[in-house]
Amino acid sequence: MTRVLVARLDSVGDVLLAGPAVRAVANGRRAGAARNDVVLLCGPEGDPAASLLPGVSEVYSWACPWIINPPPPVTAQHLDQLVAFVRTSRIAEAVILTSFHQSPLPLALLLRLAGVRLITGASTDYAGDLLDVRLRPGEDFPEDQPEAERALAIAGAAGFSLPPGDDGKLKVRDYPPVRGLVGEGPYIVVHPGSSAPARAWPPLHHAAAVELLEAAGRRVVVTGGAKEAGLTATVAGPSGLDLGGRTDLRTLAGVIAGASALVTGNTGPAHLAAAVGTPVACLFSPVVPAIRWAPYGVRLELLGDQNAACKFSRARECPVPGHPCLSSVTPEQVVDAVERLISGVSSLSTRRKVRHQ
């Protein structure tokens, strides 16, 4: 069995979006050929998602100095940790997955020094001997496509394809039953937190939406990390079920899988919902393109002004006073979106829905 390293050094959502490409690499190159042993190289933020991906045999977490913000210092010792792991892990080949604003070349250099003989990646810059298979973004594939499809195209250039019957959607494995945590009966999940303030809907808007959902007879479960306990308590109010700080990513997958719909921003949980097939009302700030990062392959209501002044700025802090791209969305509009999702009216096509914003 060939050991192939697949690299996606970003956050939970990015790792989940790499899932179809991981399955393609695990499937091998030819019909009837042995499956590959996939080693997933990720960063500390993406590590919780890596073990949930079907097709992953081993996970190695490494804090990448040109990806993580704030970055760790670039030292010989830190770089040597990765090189040593690759050298001792019998890695024969590597597929480097990146977004449009990232270069695969620094990682390719380290992998080459570690003895990897075949490396594939997408690079705008001349790669010289660092990449054996190089895709040119904008030439060999379009940049305006979902991240999951971009990653699958990079894996495809290396010769890997999905097995027959695989629909190419996001998937996760081994999440637990959570009825003891969420109780009986249908429910809506509201996940108000965000890794960047520019992507967050105001907390009191969330709280008002929870009140309206409950007034409409919907049971609401509010989720968030341990550091978001104050936020989730505010949003849940007196009658919502507050699970802030009570779920790791695997358990959160189970909570979202059991929900009728999820309300959240451009977050890891939005992609987790796509991986378990739960419809998403996504409060999406246009600081990054929705065509690339909106929840993929799942029923979707995309909310927020996609032509606001912050469009494509990649800002972490909102550059426009009042945060109008999201604060202009009313709680009533979110509730209406949830009702459309539950009734099955919303679109199944992320690509079509986003391009017509």
Tell me 82's DSSP state: H
Examine the domain organization and report whether 223 and 318 are in the same domain.
yes
Examine the domain organization and report whether 144 and 195 are in the same domain.
no
Examine the domain organization and report whether 151 and 183 are in the same domain.
no
- The order of strands in the sheet holding 188-191 is 241-242, 220-222, 188-191, 261-265, 280-283, 300-303
Examine the domain organization and report whether 183 and 329 are in the same domain.
yes
In a domain, 95, yes or no: yes
Examine the domain organization and report whether 53 and 137 are in the same domain.
yes
In a domain, 170, yes or no: no
160 and 25 Cβ atoms separated by less than 8 Å: yes
In a domain, 74, yes or no: yes
Examine the domain organization and report whether 203 and 349 are in the same domain.
yes
In a domain, 174, yes or no: no
In a domain, 143, yes or no: yes
In a domain, 47, yes or no: yes
130 and 109 Cβ atoms separated by less than 8 Å: yes
Number of domains within the chain: 2
Examine the domain organization and report whether 72 and 185 are in the same domain.
no
Examine the domain organization and report whether 148 and 184 are in the same domain.
no
pLDDT per residue as tens, the chain (357 positions): 799 999 999 999 999 999 999 999 999 875 556 689 999 999 999 999 999 999 999 999 999 999 998 999 999 999 999 999 999 999 999 999 999 889 999 999 999 999 999 999 999 999 999 999 999 999 999 989 999 999 999 999 999 999 999 999 999 999 999 999 999 999 999 999 998 889 999 999 999 999 999 999 999 999 999 999 999 999 999 999 999 999 999 999 999 999 999 999 999 999 999 999 999 999 999 999 999 999 999 999 999 999 999 998 988 888 888 899 999 999 999 999 999 999 987 765 444 344 434
**Tokens encoding 63:** 């804090």
In a domain, 45, yes or no: yes
Examine the domain organization and report whether 153 and 196 are in the same domain.
no
- Strands 56-61 and 133-135: what pairing? unpaired
Examine the domain organization and report whether 132 and 198 are in the same domain.
no
Examine the domain organization and report whether 55 and 123 are in the same domain.
yes
- What gap in Å lies between CA 171 and CA 169, rounded to an integer? 6
In a domain, 165, yes or no: no
Q: What is the CATH number of the domain that holds 67?
A: 3.40.50.2000
Examine the domain organization and report whether 73 and 133 are in the same domain.
yes
The range of the structural domain enclosing residue 116 comes to 3-157
Amino acid at 165: G
Among the candidates 122, 157, 192, a domain finishes at 157
